[in-house]
Structure formats: C-alpha cells, structure tokens
Structure 1
Amino acid sequence: MDVTFVRLRSGSLRNRGANFSSFYIPPKVVPNPYVKRLAIVYENLGNWSSLYYKVPNYSLVAPVVGFTVYDSPSVLGTEKLNLSVKGKPISIWFDDYIALRWKNDTPKCVKFSDDGRFEINNMTSNNGCIARGQGHFSIVVPSSPHDPMTLKKKKNYWKWWLIGFGGGFVGVVLLILATTAIFKIVKRKRLRAMEKRSEQGVAFDTFWVGASKMPSVSMVRTQPTIENDYVP
C-alpha cells in the first residue's frame, strides 16, 4: 500500500493541470469550494485492494488507486474539496501487462464512491479509464469458475455448509439422547412410586406358576355377616 500527496496552487492546476502516478488531471480543473492552495492525496492499495473493495460477479485484475483533494493552508488541511472539471476528463491508467493477462475477457473500468456504490464503464483505447471527479478506481473482469477468488469463495461456502450440517446432526443426536434419558428417568420414578404404594398395602403370599410369580391368598380376609337375623 502506498500513500503520497502533492501540494500545489489552484491557479497552477487550472492552467497546467497535474500529472502524477496513475492520474492525469488536465487544465481547466478547479477546486470547489475554491481555495488558493490544495493538496492531492494519492493512494495505491496494492495487494490489499480486494480486502477493501469488491464487485459482485467481477474480479479485480488491477490494484485500486484513488485520490482525494483537501485544502492546504499550510501542509494538509482537514476540509475535503470537490473538483470541477470544465474541459477534458481526468485520465487514469494502469500497467499494460495487467490488461494483457486478461485478453480473453473484456476488462472494464470501475469507480468506487465513498458511500460504497460503484460504477462500471468501458475502458479507453489505451487501456485507461476516465473520470470527472475524485474517487477510487480499478479494472475488473467477469468472474469465471476457474478464477482463484471464485474457487476460494466456493470452497469456503462448502466448508461452512459442512460445518453447519455436522453441527446440526450432532445437535439432533444429542436431543434424541437427552429425550431418551429423560423418558427413562420419568419411567423409573413412576415405577418407584408404584412400588412404594404397593409396599404400604397388605402383603400377599406368592406362589410360582411355571416361570411366573403370582399373588396368593391363604385365607378369607373378611368374614361374611348376615345383614338381617330373620331367615325365611
């Protein structure tokens, strides 16, 4: 990542323009609001470009470069300025080898705004881009199934899908085991309660019938009584 700035007079920018790094600002460009001196801060994000800027269904094939204009009363002010382009547009160019690497696709220019929006346009005949204001710029091509970034995204997608599926399966198994354990505990408590109630009653003799143990009553517990002494 590279950050530099150029300080110059507004009159010099209007009369002669400015040529620095990846940008050429033609004459007849003035700051808005107008100031006597201004500073142009230039950024080249290099290998960090894809971490800060992304375009859905497209891949960056060039580093993101950008510039921002500030007032410059002494060295670098805090007020951000706009540029009023009254003549030719601002030119942005990239190394030719970047475009040649992707000659099988149609490269496009992309401009990123501060609010996160982006705008895609065709490149010029000399593999450059044009703009009428400050911002961040790069070159993109349509994503392909063999693009490294696309493959990485698919790999991460399947990775998280497998993790989610495995976690859900383990959760279901644990739920089933917990439900079974609770059912056994409740059933055991009910059996203990029944046994306790049976122990509180009158105990019966038992005898075996084959392999089964059966209750047995050896005597009549309640003697019959006549409700009325009168017998016809």
Structure 2
Amino acid sequence: MIRDYTIRNFKLNLNTGITQKIHLPSNFSGIDIDTVRLRCGSLRRYGARIGEFHIGSGVTVEPCQERVMLVRQNLGSNWSSIYSTGYNLTGYSYQLVSPVLGLLAYNANPDGVATNPYEVNVLCTDQKPILIDFLSSKTSGNTKLNTTTKTNSSVLCACFASNGNTTFSDQVSPYVCKGTRQGHYALVMKMEAPRKDVGGGGVVTSSTEVNVGGGGGGKLSRWKVAVGSVIGSGIGAILLGMLVVAMLVKVKKKAEREEMERRAYEEEALQVSMVGHVRAPTASGTRTLPIMPDDRYKNSHLNHYP
C-alpha cells in the first residue's frame, strides 16, 4: 500500500538524484517516507545516501535496465510493533529499542515511474555494505536514549527478510548497523525476563525502559542465580544424606530381624536354659534309672552288716 501510494504521488518533474518527501494519508500517520530516482550506473559507481541509509559504491541492482527508485521508510514507534509481533521477536527473547527502518527498491521507466512496479534487488558486499545510522536526527531526537543504548552491549541489529526470517548481528559501531541488501532493519535488545505488562512486543523509546533491561540488572540477576544455586545444592546434599541414612537404617533393621528369626528357630529346635549367666542347651531326660530288686538289696545289706 505504501509502495502504490508513493508511486502515484511521485513528482516526475524532479531531476534524477533529488530526494522527494512523500506525505501519506492520515491512516498512515507516524510513517516517514522519502524516495529518490537514480540511474543504475551512477548508483553502482558512486553509491547513494537516503535518510539513514548509506549505500557504498559497487552496489549491484538486479534487474535494472536504466533507472531504479529507492524508497526509504521509517515506520515510527507505533507501526514498528507490527514487525515485533509478525516476526515473533518475543520468541527470540528480544524487544525493539528503535523504530524499524526500511530500504526498498523498485523498477523505474527512463522517463518516469513504471506503471507495473516490482521490487528489484540491491546487493552489496561485506567490504562495501549498506550502513544504517540509527543516530540520525530523522530516527530519534532523544539523546538520553542514544547514550544509554550505546553503552549496552546486549543491543544487536535485526534484519527482517521478506520471507519471514529474522537475522541478528552485532553493531559495527554504536547505533550503526550494516546490511548487504534491501530490507527492514532495527535495533533489538535481549530481554532479561518476560514481563506481564509486555504483550506481543513493542518499541521501547524511552531511556528509562532501556536502562531497566541493561546495566546493573544483569549483574543482580547473576548474583541471584549464584545464591540460588548454592542454596539448592545445600538442600540437595541434605536430602541425599537423609536418603542414605534411611537406607542404612532399613538394612540394619532387616539384618536384626533375620538374626532374631534365626535365633528363634534354633531355640525351638534345642531348648536353652540359663546356667548361671550363660545360656546353654539342655535336653529332657530319656534314660530309665536302674532299680535294684528288694530281696537282693536286703541280703547284701545283712551280709555286709552282721
């Protein structure tokens, strides 16, 4: 929709290489659009600058017969949230800390704008990339936000591809990213922890919110993790010790029970009685005592004692 409106309102009387401001209708308020028409040969030899985008020399435009129209977009704070939710930045644990900036290229007729516009590819190299300067006055006039985010090493560059993929890379310098083709770019910051007041993700534009995500908050979180790990290890060691003691007690009781059963069996088979302070086995009497006849006992008694 932005492309069609830009092409319909492009002023053909402007010379090639002159940047033109496009005023969108009220339902697109908050989006800033600039466009410029360039010769493909001039763009390849000298590069170009449009808004926050610095295109180095040696760029390749495919396909391009003679002229190309570059459209620079600044989606602002409100419209940038579409990329935060559409590309699921919260799923990557990131949140926007800058508006989303876009650089798109379309084919152009030699004498004006093409009646059947289509997107063309602007390709650069890592040695001569496209630089995106987020410190530009058109991006943000909040110097406090710039200073705070500049010192935060967790801020990365995000590139939103047209196929729905998102790639992250380091900044080449504070608040400056690089790209190798046209597309949409933004600065993102790693979220320390999900907050209940953050829905599908949004654009953080105040210095206070940026400072909450970085600075001393990370150190405090690491300290809490360290203390929690020590406490958790101590509790785990105590529980493990209690488990070992319980197992030993169970084994000891089992051995004592088996010993008692063995002793009970032996005592049942052989009676045991106390002899003094000693337990000794005893057996019941089974022999028949001899009995002397009475007559013989008497005769022997008489003969022995007259």
Under TM normalisation by the shorter chain, which class is it? Answer: 0.5 to 0.7
Query: Which stretch shifts more, 7-16 or 67-76?
Result: 67-76
Which secondary structure does the structure 2 equivalent of 1:63 belong to? coil
Measured in 2, the distance between the counterparts of 1:30 and 1:105 equals 33
Aligned residues: 151
8 Å Cα contact 1:99/1:107 also seen in 2: no
- Mapping of 1:17-32 within 5 angstroms? 17-32=47-62
8 Å Cα contact 1:4/1:43 also seen in 2: yes
State the 1:47 CA deviation. Answer: 1.2
Structure number with the higher strand fraction is: 1
Among 2, 5, 10, the alignment partner of 2:40 is 10
Do structure 1's residue 59 and structure 2's residue 95 form an aligned pair? yes
Which secondary structure does the structure 2 equivalent of 1:47 belong to? helix
Aligned-partner residue type, residue 153 of structure 1: V
Percent identity over the alignment is: 30
Measured in 2, the distance between the counterparts of 1:100 and 1:83 equals 32
Query: What is the TM-score of this pair, normalised by structure 2?
Result: 0.46
Structure number with the higher helix fraction is: 2
For residues 177-210 of structure 1, give each alpha carbon's deviation from its aligned partner in whole angstroms, at most 9, with x where no partner exists.
xxxxxxxxxxxxxxxxxxxxxxxxxxxxxxxxxx
Pair 7,99 (structure 1): closer, same or farther in 2 beyond 3 Å: same
Among 150, 158, 165, the alignment partner of 1:117 is 165
State the 1:105 CA deviation. Answer: 4.9
8 Å Cα contact 1:113/1:135 also seen in 2: yes
Q: Which residue in 1 is equivalent to 2:205?
A: none
For residues 76-109 of structure 1, give each alpha carbon's deviation from its aligned partner in whole angstroms, at most 9, with x where no partner exists.
5512101232551111110284442233452100
Measured in 1, the distance between the counterparts of 2:103 and 2:146 equals 22
State the 1:7 CA deviation. Answer: 0.5
Q: Which residue in 1 is equivalent to 2:119?
A: 80
Q: Which residue in 1 is equivalent to 2:184?
A: 136
Q: Which residue in 2 is equivalent to 1:127?
A: 175
Measured in 1, the distance between the counterparts of 2:96 and 2:124 equals 27
Cα RMSD of the aligned pairs, angstroms, is 2.1
Which secondary structure does the structure 1 equivalent of 2:197 belong to? helix
8 Å Cα contact 1:69/1:80 also seen in 2: yes
For residues 97-132 of structure 1, give each alpha carbon's deviation from its aligned partner in whole angstroms, at most 9, with x where no partner exists.
444223345210000011221001000124311111
Q: Which residue in 2 is equivalent to 1:94?
A: 134
Aligned-partner residue type, residue 119 of structure 2: K
Any stretches of 5+ residues in structure 1 without a counterpart?
Answer: 155-232
Any stretches of 5+ residues in structure 2 without a counterpart?
Answer: 1-30, 137-142, 200-306
Q: Which residue in 2 is equivalent to 1:153?
A: 198
For residues 130-158 of structure 1, give each alpha carbon's deviation from its aligned partner in whole angstroms, at most 9, with x where no partner exists.
1110110000111234x8xx34237xxxx
